[in-house]
């Protein structure tokens, strides 16, 4: 899940060039000045990423709204990392604005792996179990003074109703494209499902691009820009976006998810799929994105109705 225009205008993104990154590194971290700087293929939306030599990564927020997460990541990722069963990014250095770039930025160690994809997962049930184990460990971390939902993470972990206005708009756009009646029923159930109020850590964007595989096995979880402490149901959307039916059952059982939490998680998946479908349904250039989101909707509808 990326950010959403439900909460205001879409952030004005800036483009960062490799030459700027070289200058930033040379000026602020001269020990790395001789390293090659190359863009990372498919390097993300909220942040632009660059290889810094063979084993480091430069991560630069692409808009002011995304830059609010930098301080959080430097504060909390070193705390979370030793408590989790899989590697996560841990910042090595924090850079300051410079070289025409206006935001704080970070240097991380490069984590090997390829983004998860259904056809890359060797064993869907094992993948689901490993992912559930990771999220269970994350939820066990003391929430203490962890970051509550806010603009730093687009209110992930907060009330699902935050996204109701945008969802209703999407449903109007999608009349004739999807089963709007069924979608409204599922959405209403998700909004009505109560949360026990127990604060827990969540990742906030458990999506295919943030789950890394090695030889088809989950080996790392990256991009904690939307992490925080609150209702972890937002992390359950992956059950409909990436898991098959068998994996979904294992995932639900391993996390001991009650029906109310499952309904809220389904709501998070539904919101994102509806939003994506509404943006892409009438543009032939976005046909692949529409088809992908439509497949998620079909998975949600089938699981809910079954």
CA-nearest of 290, 274, 115, 124 to 205 is: 115
- Inform me whether the pLDDT recorded for 144 exceeds 60: yes
Q: How far apart are alpha carbons 222 and 83 in whole angstroms?
A: 15
The neighbouring-strand residues paired with 56 are 52, 109
- Say yes or no: 180 and 284 in one domain: yes
- Say yes or no: 69 and 145 in one domain: no
Helix (H) or strand (E) holding 252: helix 245-254
- Say yes or no: 92 and 119 in one domain: no
Residue-wise pLDDT tens digits, 57-101: 999 999 999 999 999 999 999 999 999 999 999 999 999 999 999
Q: Among 61, 95, 110, give the residue marking a domain's end.
A: 110
Q: How far apart are alpha carbons 48 and 236 in whole angstroms?
A: 26
CA-nearest of 28, 140, 122 to 84 is: 140
Tokens of 232: 């972890």
Q: Among 110, 133, 157, give the residue marking a domain's end.
A: 110
Task: For residues 4-12, give the mean pLDDT.
Answer: 60
The neighbouring-strand residues paired with 221 are 211
- Say yes or no: 90 and 197 in one domain: no
- DSSP H stretches of helix in 62-123: 64-67, 69-80
- The enclosing domain of 65 has a CATH number of 3.30.200.20
Q: Among 110, 140, 156, give the residue marking a domain's end.
A: 110
Q: Computed over its alpha carbons, how large is the radius of gyration of the chain?
A: 19
- Say yes or no: 26 and 159 in one domain: no
Cβ proximity of 98 and 24 under 8 Å: yes
- Say yes or no: 59 and 169 in one domain: no
Distances in Å between the alpha carbon of 89 and those of 34, 128, 142, 167, 222? 23, 21, 19, 32, 6
- Say yes or no: 99 and 122 in one domain: no
- The enclosing domain of 138 has a CATH number of 3.90.1200.10
Q: How far apart are alpha carbons 297 and 49 in whole angstroms?
A: 31
- Say yes or no: 96 and 152 in one domain: no
Residue-wise pLDDT tens digits, 211-265: 999 999 999 999 999 999 999 999 999 999 999 999 999 999 999 999 999 999 9
- What is the total count of domains within the chain? 2
Whole-number mean pLDDT of the chain?
Answer: 95
Q: What is the pLDDT of residue 56?
A: 98
- Say yes or no: 38 and 61 in one domain: yes
Q: What is the pLDDT of residue 84?
A: 98
- Say yes or no: 97 and 39 in one domain: yes
- Inform me whether the pLDDT recorded for 296 exceeds 50: yes
- Say yes or no: 102 and 173 in one domain: no
- Say yes or no: 194 and 120 in one domain: yes
Q: Structural domain of residue 187, as residue ranges?
A: 115-305
Q: What is the pLDDT of residue 6?
A: 54
- Inform me whether the pLDDT recorded for 129 exceeds 50: yes
Q: What is the pLDDT of residue 5?
A: 42
Letter string b/e over residues 198-219, b meaning 16 or more CB atoms within 10 A of that residue's CB: ebbbbbbbbbeebbbbeebebb
Q: At what angle do helices 164-173 and 259-280 cross, to 10 degrees?
A: 50
């Amino acid at each position: 899940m990326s950010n959403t225009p439900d909460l205001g205008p879409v952030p004005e993104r800036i483009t960062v060039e490799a030459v700027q990154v070289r200058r930033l590194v040379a000026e602020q971290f001269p020990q790395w000045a001789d390293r090659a700087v190359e863009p990372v293929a498919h390097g993300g939306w909220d942040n632009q990423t660059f290889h810094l030599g063979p084993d480091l990564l430069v991560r630069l927020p692409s808009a002011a709204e995304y830059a609010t997460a930098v301080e959080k990541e430097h504060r909390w990722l070193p705390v979370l990392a030793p408590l989790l069963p899989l590697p996560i990014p841990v910042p090595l250095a924090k850079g300051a604005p410079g070289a025409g770039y206006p935001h704080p930025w970070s240097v991380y160690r490069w984590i090997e792996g390829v983004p998860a994809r259904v056809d890359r997962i060797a064993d869907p049930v094992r993948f689901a179990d490993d992912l559930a184990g990771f999220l269970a460990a994350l939820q066990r971390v003391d929430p203490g003074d962890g970051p509550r939902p806010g603009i730093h993470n687009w209110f992930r972990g907060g009330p699902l109703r935050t996204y109701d206005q945008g969802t209703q708009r999407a449903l109007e756009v999608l009349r004739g494209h999807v089963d709007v009646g069924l979608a409204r029923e599922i959405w209403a159930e998700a909004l009505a499902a109560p949360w026990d109020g127990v604060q827990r850590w969540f990742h906030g964007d458990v999506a295919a691009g943030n789950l890394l595989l090695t030889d088809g096995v989950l080996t790392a979880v990256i991009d904690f820009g939307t992490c925080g402490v609150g209702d972890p149901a937002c992390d359950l959307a992956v059950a409909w976006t990436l898991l098959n039916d068998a994996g979904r059952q294992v995932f639900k059982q391993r996390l001991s998810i009650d029906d109310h939490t499952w309904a809220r998680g389904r709501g998070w998946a539904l919101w994102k799929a509806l939003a994506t479908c509404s943006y892409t349904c009438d543009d032939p250039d976005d046909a692949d994105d529409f088809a992908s989101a439509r497949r998620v909707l079909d998975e949600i509808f089938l699981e809910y109705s079954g």
